[in-house]
């Protein structure tokens, strides 16, 4: 199975600053990579699919890039509601696999 | 609006089975596959399997083979996930999630159910 590795596990950033989250796949997943945001007590929400396409209703401050094995989620200017957990996921092969998550916390 | 609504919380004893439902509305049920994902307390997301509401055999994660059964009822636009031989490690929130692309299984998970807490306790 493809192992998804996210870094860092915790990212400390000040409000208004940029956050850069990384996700690495143990083998190529092409562009079949999604990013999800999860707030406490809620289901995950799709942010990015196809590695770089924002899902419906997602603010422009969220952007994704990469292909193959290296991917990045960038939040250009952190708002208070962005300090939560983010997961990457590959949907290129079975089984579908998720990274372990990156928590973005207030610095 | 497009939504998935799951059944309520469950408490089960070790060795028992649990069946969680996920009712779809707001779109053509048979056009989109549904995944099941679980999340143990304080942990990450774990994929369990996928079912195509239009038919065909579900695909299960190897970890759950032999213990999980996913079914669907097109008359009520509901999918079900049954997990048997429950143990304490199965305590988790179970989510259903829709594939964002019609007909095929390739796609991200665009609509999620609210989650169902399943607690295994003697």
* B102: number of Cβ within 10 Å: 12
pLDDT at B105 over 90: no
Q: For tokens 């956050």, name the residue.
A: A19
pLDDT value at residue B103? 78
pLDDT at A72 over 90: yes
Candidates B52, B48, B80; CA nearest to B65 is: B48
pLDDT digits (tens, 9 = 90+) for B40-59: 999 999 999 999 999 989 99
pLDDT value at residue B67? 98
pLDDT value at residue A48? 98
pLDDT at B92 over 90: yes
Residue B53, CA distances (Å) to A4, B65, B66, B80 in order:
28, 20, 21, 11
pLDDT at B16 over 90: yes
Backbone angles phi, psi at B61, to 5 degrees: -65, 140
Distance CA A80, CA B107 (A): 30
Are B44 and A100 in contact (CB < 8 Å)?
yes
pLDDT value at residue B56? 86
pLDDT value at residue A4? 98
In B, minimum Cα distance to A32 occurs at B107
Sign, CA torsion B111/B50/B11/B92: negative
pLDDT digits (tens, 9 = 90+) for A24-55: 999 999 999 999 999 999 999 999 999 999 99
Terminal-to-terminal C-alpha distance of chain A:
35
A103 touches chain B (CB under 8 A): no
- CB-CB neighbors (< 8 A) of A101 in chain B: 44-45
pLDDT value at residue B104? 80
């Amino acid at each position: 199975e493809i192992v998804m590795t996210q870094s860092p596990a915790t990212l400390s950033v000040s409000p208004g600053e940029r956050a850069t989250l990384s996700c690495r796949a143990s083998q190529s997943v092409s562009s079949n990579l999604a990013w999800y945001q999860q707030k406490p007590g809620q289901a995950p929400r799709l942010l990015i699919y196809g590695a770089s396409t924002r899902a419906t209703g997602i603010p422009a401050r969220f952007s994704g890039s990469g292909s193959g094995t290296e991917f990045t989620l960038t939040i250009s200017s952190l708002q208070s509601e962005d300090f939560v957990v983010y997961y990457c996921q590959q949907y290129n092969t079975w089984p579908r696999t998720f990274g372990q998550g990156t928590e973005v916390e207030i610095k | 609006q497009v939504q998935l609504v799951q059944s309520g919380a469950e408490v089960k004893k070790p060795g028992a089975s649990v069946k969680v439902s996920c009712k779809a509305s707001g779109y053509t049920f048979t056009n989109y596959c549904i995944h099941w994902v679980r999340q143990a307390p304080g942990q990450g997301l774990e994929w369990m399997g996928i079912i195509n509401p239009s038919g065909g055999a579900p695909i299960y994660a190897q970890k759950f083979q032999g213990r999980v059964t996913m079914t669907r009822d097109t008359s009520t636009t509901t999918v079900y996930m049954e997990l048997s031989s429950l143990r304490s490690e199965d305590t988790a929130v179970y989510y259903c999630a829709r594939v964002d692309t019609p007909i095929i299984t390739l796609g991200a998970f665009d609509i999620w159910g609210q989650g169902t807490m399943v607690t295994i306790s003697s």
